[in-house]
Amino acid sequence: MNRDRIGGMNADELKYPGSHRIYIQGKMHPQVQVSMREIVQEDTVFPDGKTEPNAPVRVYDCSGPWGDSAYHGDEERGLPHLRADWIRERGDIEVEDGGGLKAANVTTPPTQRYYATQGIITPEMEYVAIRENLGRESVYRAVYDRFPSDKSRPEAAQMLLDELGTGMPRPSELEAQPGFGPTSLCSRADLAYQHPAVLQQGSHMPAFYTPEFVRDEIAAGRALIPVNINHPECEPMIIGRNFLCKVNANIGNSALASDIVKEVEKLRWAIHWGADTVMDLSTGKDIHRTREWILRNSPVPIGTVPMYQSLEKCSGAVAHLSWPVFRDTLIEQARQGVDYVTVHAALLRRFVPHTARRAAGIVSRGGSIIAKWMMIHQQENFLYTHWDEICDILATYDVAISIGDGLRPGAIADANDFAQLAELEVQGELTRRAWNKGVQVMNEGPGHVPMHLVPENMRKQLEWCYEAPFYTLGPLATDIAPGYDHITGAIGGALIARRGCAMLCYVTRKEHLGLPDKEDVREGVVTYKLAAHAADLAKGHPGAQLRDNALAKARFEFRWEDQFNLSLDPHRAREYHDLTLPHANAKKAHFCSMCGPDFCAMKLSQEIKNLDM
Amino acid sequence: MNRDRIGGMNADELKYPGSHRIYIQGKMHPQVQVSMREIVQEDTVFPDGKTEPNAPVRVYDCSGPWGDSAYHGDEERGLPHLRADWIRERGDIEVEDGGGLKAANVTTPPTQRYYATQGIITPEMEYVAIRENLGRESVYRAVYDRFPSDKSRPEAAQMLLDELGTGMPRPSELEAQPGFGPTSLCSRADLAYQHPAVLQQGSHMPAFYTPEFVRDEIAAGRALIPVNINHPECEPMIIGRNFLCKVNANIGNSALASDIVKEVEKLRWAIHWGADTVMDLSTGKDIHRTREWILRNSPVPIGTVPMYQSLEKCSGAVAHLSWPVFRDTLIEQARQGVDYVTVHAALLRRFVPHTARRAAGIVSRGGSIIAKWMMIHQQENFLYTHWDEICDILATYDVAISIGDGLRPGAIADANDFAQLAELEVQGELTRRAWNKGVQVMNEGPGHVPMHLVPENMRKQLEWCYEAPFYTLGPLATDIAPGYDHITGAIGGALIARRGCAMLCYVTRKEHLGLPDKEDVREGVVTYKLAAHAADLAKGHPGAQLRDNALAKARFEFRWEDQFNLSLDPHRAREYHDLTLPHANAKKAHFCSMCGPDFCAMKLSQEIKNLDM
């Protein structure tokens, strides 16, 4: 084990075994180099001793330069400015006092939404198109180029490339093609097979993502790329229901626990496991400086709730909050490079009394702050009354808006109640107005919702908020499992993502109980990645099943190392296997500890294949 | 801490804090005493210092006498024979050589199904009716009896008892009733409120379970009570989609790890956490003796896969298996008291070649054994050809049949394929035939299934198997998360249970990797209990939301101890809270470590309630 420490972590913890970083170059924008992780596999060994290679599997990678073994930066210096030239070359920005960038002209905001509506395909858009394809084209080619019959290969390859992963014919249908006889244990076509999914509510997944498709989705408001022009370190990623479902992880110190270096470590840890965005929810001291460290070291979009820092500026006194304090905080954060902000502008004064009879009242921190302010001052929410000014500020820097759901239910009993749905309707109104200012938008959603009420949430959000991406916290499918709320949230999360929710905010097992530690973050992120992936399979993302198929094939062939390496958490998979069969040769064994050699179904199943049927 | 050891466990581990055992007596059968756990709660304390009691919450309890602090038995002696008189008094059994019981007459099998079809309501049926009601009647009365207005109480109580938990009016509607003014923080009606659920596929939940309803469900084949007449220690429980969704946990030694005492400990551990049935999947030595210990100490139904012991009798040589060996094993287990058996009789010879092109072949142990036998002997499955004889044996002892799914998919790629569905159709045929013999039946189901293919499984099972209860292993919603497969299975499990799956077989995080240890069993059972509960909420079990409501109320009122005690795993909830706020007075604090005092949404929310709105 390499015991070099990276802050509180050791280097081995941040490595994926059997993997290396690759980059795929853009075609429209050759300066685009999309990072991915490629997992290499062992050969399949047949009973007669012959072998066949297994194509490497490419997976989405959120770790940025930190995940590239050739990168040797450190936290003090911050990450390279990947997007600096792209931003500069658009010629629509100017340098502010203090060195940051801002829009040169308010009528041409430097936002991905503005470009998209103007028909401009930015490098960011091509980046995400390549990223969402998961390197499938070359993988499929590799699979089919190995096909032994010269006669059938061109037809198979053509068929594959025509379809590129969606609704690939099953082997039995392939067999009807000339040259496709019954094949060996590791059928090539199986790797590309994917169950066809019928999408709901008007979503659709293309067979292959193109930059033009990305542009179109952003222009329609169905997707956003949260990338502040002052966060050039950020690798573009897209949030929208016709793409891979994304996962957000929260970090941030609180008044009771605070350490800047630890927050950067948490960031690296969260993105290592696959957090697509990270929200810095710090409420303690040094909020600005903590955020600076995070931003300069983050290859993923950083979100915040500016109300928290605003309240800190008022020493925690809600009564002293005001629009000027909030506005200045928002500008400060936008200049710093925050990629998206949660603003609870849809929580109107008249909704608050409807929370009085709830089981759990208001459970959103931002929501409860602004609700209390409204009750004290007997005035309408200043975030609502100053919405246009908020949007102008955000458009100046391409900060995306995540319209908060301050009245999200905090108990099963409160799900889908008047207060929640009333706010959702206002979120829709604010979405339109933000779009008109060129701002990219998503809407935040619940919360605690029983399974049967989840579809209504998604349906109403799509309808009332004009198909803007939905970003939910869970939803948690029951209240009775504190200590397991990452799982109650994964159930609701998979369910709503399958119906089109674009991003899930993770919940850790410490939810409702305490602050997550390192292991909680790992368990939380991986849990939400698997929930998001389950939804991607169901909604028919064209490349989603590739990894499942590769892992299942490795499992069936007893390629234990490949099985571990292909999994979301290879360290844990290997560790669990080691617990009962620690010897290295058990990683080659054609059985495992669960059933032993005589009762191994997969071993028997392979033997059956070798019998004459 | 009490450090008395119960085998490998200490006594405190097997206690639920703030809880005690209660028994509810039957009315038709006064000898029926249904065990439940009652969780007591602290009073609510209002800002003015006034207090109000919170009614205790009754929860389903699988632990039997082991969970009663007044019980002082031990494993050597075995549990008391709860059902001995009930069985004897029916007058339809006789004593076999060796002392066991069997049917006196083959035309009147002593099965719950036979009684149900004859219009007989057994003590077992009344037991489960009371059990499924979760002690709601008295809880609701307690809630309403506290209502301060004499004028409104009778009306409220009447309204409540009329509805008894289903579609309870929300507080706002209650306010329109005379005497119901705006109430305090802890609204009484909130505790009884439950979201109405629209059931799918013709299921329906009664507002209140009656013994007659239970009888009707069993007669229709929609439910079963697996209780062998030779397992008088067993507390009756019901498996059916119009009841609480149940969870099975597997235990059992394998060739690589074996210890009888440990298996009994695992049993007690699993039922402590809420396993409704336990399958003994032992394949190592001492199978008979291990099972004897388990049966004599189990208050829950025990299931087995008799093929495993049959194969052991053939020293692991599949070729030597035969109908006589299997028959004798089945009789041996039936006489011993096994409550249900998995038999892979629906896996026909002609289906096997369809597994050759699968990603993961055959992953069922029993399925692969019988498939290999068929391939070796080129004969039809002897379990299928001897089905009627199997049913006659099972009917003699009231052993329920769980028709196995030997061709369940072991990979996402294989879900809902020809082999799987072909077997399901035969399961339907065998279901009918077993019913005609008076045998109680359920059907086993997948496996690995992506979310969007789950509904087809449930729909076809209900249609093809005549609404017999479905009992699934997961299904796992993705293949890529080894080490987290309890969660991938909980996602699929909640989904299929919500659509009517009657029982979920748990999957531990060690699935695919190794043998579960004690913590894995705990995590696995609790995970599946929460998934089953999420489904119960969604399918509208009339008392399901009571516990969520009580926990949410405790949470909102900062009654930390009650929040822990009401949760599925109080030990873990408390442990997690202790990690950041270990001091005892933090359990009274009106905030927690997550946000600190200034940013506590619930604290702010309570303050808002006290402001003039």
Q: What pLDDT does A146 receive?
A: 52
Q: Does B311 touch chain A (CB under 8 A)?
A: yes
Q: From the CA atom positions of chain A, what is the Rg in Å?
A: 25
Residue A41 has which token pair? 């596999």
Q: Name beta bridge partners: A246.
A: A503
CA distance B585 to chain A (A): 15
Contact between A328 and A371 (Cβ < 8 Å)? no
Please state, in angstroms and rounded to a whole number, the distance separating the CA atoms of residues A458 and A535.
14
CA distance B43 to chain A (A): 16
Please state, in angstroms and rounded to a whole number, the distance separating the CA atoms of residues A493 and A513.
20
Q: Which of A185, A513, A526, A563 to mutate to test the interface with B (most CBs of B within 10 A)?
A: A513
Please state, in angstroms and rounded to a whole number, the distance separating the CA atoms of residues A422 and B351.
55
Please state, in angstroms and rounded to a whole number, the distance separating the CA atoms of residues B276 and B237.
8
DSSP summary character for residue B171: H
Contact between B527 and A452 using a beta-carbon 8 Å cutoff: no
Q: Name beta bridge partners: B444.
A: B471
Taking CA–CA distances from A490, the nearest residue in chain B reads B491
Q: What pLDDT does B598 receive?
A: 66
CA distance A497 to chain B (A): 11
**Closest in A195, A357, A368 to B601, CB measured:** A368
Q: What pLDDT does B283 receive?
A: 81
Digit-coded pLDDT (tens) for B121-160: 999 999 999 999 998 776 655 555 555 444 454 455 555 5
Q: How confident is the model at residue B97 (pLDDT cuts 50, 70, 90)?
A: confident
Chain A hits for B59, CB-CB cut-off 8 Å, are none
Residue carrying structure tokens 């008249």: A350
pLDDT over threshold 50, residue B416: yes
Contact between A568 and B411 using a beta-carbon 8 Å cutoff: no
Q: What pLDDT does B144 receive?
A: 54
Burial A133-151 (b: 16+ CB within 10 A, else e): bbbbbbbbeebbeebeeee
Nearest one of A424, A452, A363 to B194, comparing CA atoms: A452
CA distance B537 to chain A (A): 6
Contact between A481 and B599 using a beta-carbon 8 Å cutoff: no
Contact between A606 and B376 using a beta-carbon 8 Å cutoff: no
DSSP readout, B401-434? Answer: EEE--TT--SSGGGTT-HHHHHHHHHHHHHHHHH
Q: Does B551 touch chain A (CB under 8 A)?
A: yes
Contact between B252 and B521 (Cβ < 8 Å)? no
Q: What pLDDT does B46 receive?
A: 84
Chain B hits for A531, CB-CB cut-off 8 Å, are 487, 491
Nearest one of A234, A238, A293, A244 to A267, comparing CA atoms: A293
Residue A307 has which token pair? 């109300």
Residue A195 has which token pair? 């169950």
Question: DSSP 3-state assignment of A100?
Answer: coil
**Closest in A183, A569, A609 to B484, CB measured:** A569
The values of phi and psi at residue B557, to 5°, are -95, 10
What average pLDDT score do residues B360-374 get?
Answer: 94
Contact between B452 and A531 using a beta-carbon 8 Å cutoff: no
Chain B hits for A572, CB-CB cut-off 8 Å, are 482-484
Contact between B206 and B213 (Cβ < 8 Å)? yes
Chain B hits for A412, CB-CB cut-off 8 Å, are 195, 537, 545, 548-549, 552
- Enumerate residues 153 to 192 of chain A having a beta carbon within 8 A of any beta carbon in chain B: 171-172, 182-183, 187, 190
Provide CB contacts within 8 A for B480, sequence distance 6+.
A530, A533, A547, A548, A551, A566, A567, A568
Digit-coded pLDDT (tens) for B480-513: 999 999 999 999 999 999 999 999 999 999 999 9
Digit-coded pLDDT (tens) for B388-407: 999 999 999 999 999 999 99
Chain B hits for A489, CB-CB cut-off 8 Å, are none
Please state, in angstroms and rounded to a whole number, the distance separating the CA atoms of residues B576 and B593.
11
Please state, in angstroms and rounded to a whole number, the distance separating the CA atoms of residues B543 and B538.
12
CA distance A187 to chain B (A): 7
- Enumerate residues 56 to 75 of chain B having a beta carbon within 8 A of any beta carbon in chain A: none
Residue carrying structure tokens 């019981």: B101
Question: DSSP 3-state assignment of B481?
Answer: coil
Chain B hits for A357, CB-CB cut-off 8 Å, are 171-172, 182-183, 187, 190
Chain B hits for A529, CB-CB cut-off 8 Å, are 481
Contact between B245 and B349 (Cβ < 8 Å)? no
ipTM comes to 0.92
Pairing of strands A5-6, A33-39: unpaired
Taking CA–CA distances from B200, the nearest residue in chain A reads A452
Chain B hits for A256, CB-CB cut-off 8 Å, are 580, 593, 596
Nearest one of A333, A441, A313, A444 to A387, comparing CA atoms: A441
Cis preceding linkage at A438, omega within 30: no
Which is more confidently placed, B205 or B328? Answer: B328
Nearest one of A478, A357, A480, A452 to B170, comparing CA atoms: A357
Contact between B608 and A551 using a beta-carbon 8 Å cutoff: no
Nearest one of B506, B534, B557 to B266, comparing CA atoms: B506
Nearest one of B200, B199, B239, B232 to B217, comparing CA atoms: B239
Nearest one of B369, B214, B332 to A598, comparing CA atoms: B369
Q: What pLDDT does A610 receive?
A: 67
CB A578: neighbour CB atoms within 10 A? 15
pLDDT over threshold 70, residue B568: yes
CA distance A604 to chain B (A): 6
Contact between B371 and B321 (Cβ < 8 Å)? no
Answer yes or no: pTM beyond 0.95.
no
Contact between A359 and B190 using a beta-carbon 8 Å cutoff: yes
Digit-coded pLDDT (tens) for B330-354: 999 999 999 999 999 999 999 999 8
Q: Does A258 touch chain B (CB under 8 A)?
A: no
Contact between A567 and B193 using a beta-carbon 8 Å cutoff: no
Which is more confidently placed, A11 or B24? Answer: B24
CA distance B450 to chain A (A): 6
- Enumerate residues 185 to 224 of chain A having a beta carbon within 8 A of any beta carbon in chain B: 187, 190, 193, 195, 197-198
Contact between A352 and B608 using a beta-carbon 8 Å cutoff: yes
Q: Name beta bridge partners: B476.
A: B448
Chain B hits for A576, CB-CB cut-off 8 Å, are 482-483, 509-510, 513-514
Helix (H) or strand (E) holding B397: helix B387-397
**Closest in A413, A540, A613 to B352, CB measured:** A613
**Closest in A450, A537, A600 to B450, CB measured:** A537
Average confidence score pLDDT of chain B: 87
Cis preceding linkage at B100, omega within 30: no
Q: Which of B310, B598, B600, B607 to mutate to test the interface with A (most CBs of A within 10 A)?
A: B598
Q: Name the percent of chain B lying above pLDDT 70.
A: 85
Cis preceding linkage at A353, omega within 30: no
pLDDT over threshold 70, residue B592: no
**Closest in B553, B576, B598 to A255, CB measured:** B598
- Enumerate residues 364 to 423 of chain A having a beta carbon within 8 A of any beta carbon in chain B: 364-365, 367-369, 371-372, 375-376, 410-416
Amino acid code (one letter) for B211 = P
pLDDT over threshold 50, residue B33: yes
Please state, in angstroms and rounded to a whole number, the distance separating the CA atoms of residues A141 and A191.
12
Chain B hits for A611, CB-CB cut-off 8 Å, are 372, 375-376
Q: Name beta bridge partners: A45.
A: A51
Amino acid code (one letter) for A495 = L
Chain A hits for B593, CB-CB cut-off 8 Å, are 254, 256-257, 514-515
Residue ranges in chain A whose pLDDT is less than 70: 1-9, 138-192, 197-203, 254-258, 590-599, 602, 609-613
Contact between B254 and A594 using a beta-carbon 8 Å cutoff: yes
Contact between B368 and A605 using a beta-carbon 8 Å cutoff: yes
Please state, in angstroms and rounded to a whole number, the distance separating the CA atoms of residues A383 and A387.
6
Q: Is A228 exposed, middle or buried (0-12, 13-18, 19+ CB in 10 A)?
A: buried
pLDDT over threshold 80, residue B419: yes
Q: Which of A193, A598, A611 to mutate to test the interface with B (most CBs of B within 10 A)?
A: A598
Contact between A482 and B567 using a beta-carbon 8 Å cutoff: yes
Weakest mean pLDDT among A185-189, B314-318, B523-527, B606-610: A185-189
CA distance A353 to chain B (A): 7
- Encode B535-577 in three state secondary structure: HHHHHCCCCCHHHHHHHHHHHHCCCHHHHHHHCCCHHHHHHHH
| Number of helices followed by number of strands (H, E) in chain A | 23, 19
Please state, in angstroms and rounded to a whole number, the distance separating the CA atoms of residues B442 and B213.
19
Residue A30 has which token pair? 């050759």
**Closest in B171, B451, B597 to A494, CB measured:** B451
